[in-house]
């Protein structure tokens, strides 16, 4: 099949080619017609001037005769004027006849005869005046005037007859040619109109129907209807239709996948109108609300909302209509069996559909877990920590007493009990701190804190533990001042020093240092332990993350210390990092802004 580009080219080229050919033919004919018209005008001029020349010649004869018979001066003046005009007219005729060789020779002969006549008349002017016409006639006959006069008349008549013959022949050629031009113009116009109609019908009939099929397919696709059969051919329209069908299939597949995702989604996906009435909803609503999702289309969001959250639901509907941004709101709902359902609604207003698109997530289990966590934290805070503190105090009292009745085994068991109490208390404190950090409820009270005071507090606390492991604690460059929460900063450094002591070898050294710059203060804790593998330095600050599986048991760690340190440092607007070389130790760097 001819391509659309070729058809379009033919549609334009054929009329254009005919128009160019027609213009060339008409141009040639018009050029010939102009030449004939020019020749016609020349013939008319020649004939007119020949007649005028003959009239002037007759006028010369009459004026000369009148002057000779009457000797009146006015005749002489008129004679001289007419002779001058006759001479000019002869020269003009000679110029007109120059294009025709035969006529040019005859015109020169006529001009020569006129000169001879003029010369003879000039000679005769010097003779006496005549009184009778027969004397004039005798004078004409005796001086060769009459033969010359007759010869001039004969030449004029011959030239005039020749030019009239040519004018007649030219006129006979002009008339048919003008008729031919008119016929060609009418025929060309009719043929051009017919060609245009034929091209339009042919091109419009084939391409137009195919374009309409494409438009109909586009409308069908927008309405979700089946498309027309594919257009047959291999031109551009057919290729476009094939592409359109492929696009429609892709859209249908994507829409089907989207519908499948919505149908099988765990969360409720629905749309509601401005008043909260359900327009569409997926099957997940069956389990969440205990109502078949098809029946929800006749219900309102407000009908399912718990009275406790009713005002929040109304405010959410109003807010959705006033903004084009998505937002979330927690609403307590009631299912058909009166069960309370905690939900998180994500809402967004869709102006084009005048509806609110919603995704509803079931928070019931998460809320229950949160409540359980709060109960556990409350138990840790009050039901475990308080008795443990009492037990730890009693054990420490027994250890400090010098009761000689206590055996060495009793002393060992009391020490073990004390350490385990401290371990559980530390774990409970870490859990409580981490929960506060996660929930954003931990407050930071910043003040100017000398770094030396922080290091001294940490060394005082850790000195006994370091001595038990035969680890030396050193301090350098601690003259800086930092703007921070004193208690939390001590907690950060103490946690880092505690870890450094745990992983330091017997006789090792843990070094504390500080370095002050223009806008921040760097606090460092370095040890000579086993180090941290390169693949662990980025994740070591994650909660419950240990370098080796046995660290939590052997080193008696909770896996929360470094995670708490990281969050506390970030609350101060700082950073914490670890650099290490396995087998040579680790360096932890805390960078805090100097602040005010």
Give the domain CATH number at 341. 3.30.450.20
- Confidence (pLDDT) at 63: 75
Comparing 178 with 361, which gets the higher pLDDT?
361
Residues 588 and 455 grouped into a single domain:
yes
Split into its structural domains, the chain has a count of 4
- Looking at residue 553, its pLDDT comes to 45
d(CA 155, CA 347): 115
For position 277, what pLDDT does the model report? 92
User: What pLDDT is recorded for position 120?
Assistant: 64
Please indicate, yes or no, whether residues 331 and 271 belong to a single structural domain of this protein.
yes
Write the CA distances from 538 to 87, 496, 521, 563, 574, integer angstroms: 124, 16, 22, 12, 16
Q: Tell me: do 278 and 294 sit in the same domain.
A: yes
Count of other CB atoms within 10 angstroms of residue 52: 15
Pair (339, 384) in one structural domain: no
Residue range 310-326: average pLDDT? 90
Residues 307 and 335 placed together within one structural domain of the fold:
yes
Is 243 within the bounds of a domain? no
pLDDT for 358 equals: 92
**Helix, strand, coil content of the chain in percent (nearest 5):** 65, 15, 20
**Which tops the pLDDT comparison, 249 or 552?**
249
Q: Please check the confidence at residue 179 and state whether its pLDDT lies above 50.
A: yes
- Interval 506-538: pLDDT, tens: 889 999 998 888 888 999 999 988 888 877 777
Domain-located, residue 218: no
Q: Rank 167-181, 188-202, 253-267 by mean pLDDT and report only the highest.
A: 253-267
The reported pLDDT for the residue numbered 259 is: 74
pLDDT for res 315: 92
Residue 300 predicted with pLDDT over 70: yes
Answer yes or no: are the C-beta atoms of 182 and 154 closer than 8 Å: no
Contact 446, 572 (CB under 8 A): yes
CA distance 112 to 109: 5
Other CB atoms within a 10 A radius of the CB of residue 75 amount to 18
Q: Could you tell me if 270 and 282 are in contact, meaning their C-beta atoms sit under 8 angstroms apart?
A: yes
The pLDDT tens digits for 428-444 are: 666 666 666 666 667 77
pLDDT at 206: 67
As a whole number of angstroms, the longest Cα–Cα distance in the chain is 203
Considering the domain architecture, whether residues 317 and 415 belong to the same structural domain is answered as no
Find all residues with CB under 8 Å of 120, minimum gap 6, and list them.
143, 144, 145, 148
Residue 520 lies in a domain: yes
In the beta sheet, which residues pair with residue 254?
A: none
CA–CA separation, 389 and 424 (whole Å): 10
Residue 388 shares a structural domain with residue 348? no
- Mean pLDDT, residues 550-568: 66
CA dist 98 and 103 (Å) reads 7
User: So what's the pLDDT on residue 327?
Assistant: 92
**Number of helical (H) and strand (E) elements in the chain, helices listed first:** 17, 12
Q: What mean pLDDT, rounded, does the chain reach?
A: 76
Q: Is the pLDDT of residue 382 over 60?
A: no
d(CA 504, CA 508): 6
pTM over 0.75: no
Q: What is the pLDDT of residue 555?
A: 45
Range of the domain at 278: 261-364
Q: Where are the beta strands (DSSP E) in 517-574?
A: 520-526
pLDDT at position 123 over 70: no
Gap between the Cα atoms of 270 and 295, Å rounded? 13
In terms of pLDDT, which residue wins out, 223 or 103?
Answer: 223
Number of alpha carbons in the 13 Å side-chain half-sphere of residue 524: 17
Residue with tokens 């385990």: 420
The residue whose two tokens read 């009719």 is 190
Residue 143 placed within a domain: yes
Residue 175, domain member (yes or no): yes
d(CA 586, CA 279): 61
| Segment of 78-92, 182-196, 577-591 carrying the highest mean pLDDT | 577-591
Q: pLDDT at residue 135 above 60?
A: no
Q: Are 182 and 283 within one domain?
A: no
Last residue of a domain, one of 402, 434, 466: 434
C-alpha dist (Å) from residue 137 to 142, 288, 299, 452, 588: 8, 147, 140, 162, 153
Asked if residue 37 and residue 129 are part of one domain, the reply reads yes
Among residues 491, 498, 443, the alpha carbon closest in space to that of 468 is found at 498
End of a domain among 169, 190, 211? 190
Rounded to an integer, what distance in angstroms lies between the CA atom of residue 91 and that of residue 68? 28
Burial class (CB in 10 A: 0-12, 13-18, 19+), 92: middle
216 vs 401: which has the higher pLDDT:
216
Inter-residue contact 221 to 254 (CB < 8 Å): no
Final residue belonging to a domain, choices 152, 171, 190: 190
pLDDT of res. 552: 47
Mean pLDDT, residues 76-103 taken together:
70
Contacts of 8 (CB under 8 A, 6+ apart): 203
* Rounded mean pLDDT, 239-244: 82
Do 490 and 569 share a structural domain?
yes
Mean pLDDT over 170-199 rounds to: 72
The residue ranges of DSSP E strands in 199-326, in sequence order, are: 268-272, 278-281
- Dihedrals φ, ψ of 112, to 5°? -65, -40
Could you tell me the two tokens for 386? Answer: 């308080």
Q: What is the 3-state secondary structure (H, E, C) of 148-180?
A: HHHHHHHHHHHHHHHHHHHHHHHHHHHHHHHHH
- β-sheet bridge partners, residue 591: 522, 575
pLDDT at 464 over 90: no
Shared domain for 345 and 388, answered yes or no, is no
Residue 351: pLDDT above 60?
A: yes
Closest of 92, 117, 91, 94 to residue 107, by C-alpha: 94
What CATH number does residue 428 fall under? 1.10.287.130
pLDDT of residue 117: 63
Q: Percent of the chain beyond pLDDT 70?
A: 66
C-beta of residue 207 within 8 angstroms of C-beta of residue 7: yes
Whether 348 is in a domain gets the answer: yes
Per-residue pLDDT of 391-424, as tens digits, reads 767 767 766 765 555 667 776 677 767 666 666 6
Q: What tokens does 375 get?
A: 């109960």
Measured distance CA(307)–CA(292) in Å, rounded = 22
CA-closest candidate to residue 285, choices 335, 348, 329, 332? 335
Predicted pLDDT at 1: 55
Average pLDDT over residues 267-287: 89
Whether 347 has a pLDDT exceeding 90, the answer reads yes
Higher pLDDT, 172 or 55: 55
State residue 316's pLDDT score. Answer: 92
């Amino acid at each position: 099949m001819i391509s659309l580009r070729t058809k379009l080219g033919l549609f334009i080229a054929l009329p254009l080619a005919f128009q160019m050919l027609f213009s060339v033919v008409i141009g040639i004919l018009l050029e010939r017609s102009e030449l004939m018209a020019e020749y016609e005008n020349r013939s008319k001029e020649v004939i007119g001037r020949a007649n005028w020349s003959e009239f002037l010649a007759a006028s010369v004869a009459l004026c000369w005769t009148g002057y000779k018979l009457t000797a009146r001066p006015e005749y002489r003046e008129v004679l001289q004027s007419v002779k001058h005009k006759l001479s000019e007219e002869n020269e003009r005729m000679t110029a007109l006849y120059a294009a025709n060789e035969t006529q040019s020779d005859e015109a020169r002969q006529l001009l020569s005869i006129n000169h001879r006549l003029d010369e003879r008349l000039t000679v005769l002017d010097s003779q006496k005046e005549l009184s009778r016409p027969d004397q004039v006639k005798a004078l004409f006959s005796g001086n060769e005037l009459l033969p010359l006069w007759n010869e001039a008349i004969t030449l004029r008549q011959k030239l005039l007859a020749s030019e009239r013959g040519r004018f007649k022949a030219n006129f006979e050629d002009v008339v048919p040619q003008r008729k031919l031009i008119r016929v060609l113009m009418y025929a060309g116009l009719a043929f051009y109109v017919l060609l245009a109609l034929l091209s339009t019908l042919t091109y419009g009939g084939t391409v137009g129907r195919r374009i309409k099929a494409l438009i109909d397919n586009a409308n069908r696709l927008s309405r979700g209807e089946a498309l027309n059969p594919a257009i047959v051919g291999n031109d551009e329209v057919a290729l476009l239709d094939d592409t359109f069908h492929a696009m429609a299939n892709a859209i249908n597949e994507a829409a089907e996948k989207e519908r499948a995702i919505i149908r099988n989604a765990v969360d409720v996906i629905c749309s509601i109108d401005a008043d909260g009435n359900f327009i569409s909803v997926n099957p997940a609503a069956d389990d969440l609300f205990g109502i078949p999702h098809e029946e929800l289309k006749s219900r309102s969001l407000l009908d399912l909302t718990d009275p406790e959250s009713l005002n929040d639901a109304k405010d959410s509907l109003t807010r959705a209509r006033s903004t084009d941004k998505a937002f979330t709101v927690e609403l307590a709902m009631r299912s058909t069996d009166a069960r309370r359902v905690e939900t998180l609604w994500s809402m967004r207003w869709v102006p084009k559909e005048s509806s609110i698109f919603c995704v509803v997530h079931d928070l019931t289990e998460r809320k229950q877990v949160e409540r359980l966590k709060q109960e556990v934290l409350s138990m840790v805070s009050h039901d475990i920590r308080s008795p443990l503190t009492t037990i730890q105090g009693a054990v420490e009292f027994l250890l400090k007493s010098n009761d000689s009745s206590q055996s060495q085994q009793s002393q060992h068991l009391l020490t073990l009990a004390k350490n385990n109490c401290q371990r559980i208390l530390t774990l409970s404190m870490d859990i409580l701190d981490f929960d506060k950090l996660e929930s954003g409820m931990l407050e930071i009270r910043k003040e100017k804190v000398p770094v030396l005071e922080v290091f001294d507090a940490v060394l005082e606390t850790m000195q006994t533990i370091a001595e038990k492991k035969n680890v030396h604690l050193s301090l350098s460059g601690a003259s800086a001042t930092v703007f921070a929460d004193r208690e939390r900063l001590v907690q950060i450094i103490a946690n880092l020093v505690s870890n450094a002591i745990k992983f330091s070898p017997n006789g090792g050294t843990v070094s504390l240092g500080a370095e002050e710059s223009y806008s921040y203060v760097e606090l460092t804790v370095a040890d000579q332990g086993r180090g941290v593998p390169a693949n662990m330095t980025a994740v070591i600050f994650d909660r419950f993350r240990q370098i080796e599986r046995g660290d939590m048991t052997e080193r008696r760690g909770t896996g929360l210390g470094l995670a708490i340190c990281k969050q506390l440092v970030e609350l101060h607007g700082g950073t914490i990092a670890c650099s290490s070389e396995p087998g040579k130790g680790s360096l932890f760097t805390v960078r805090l802004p100097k602040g005010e």
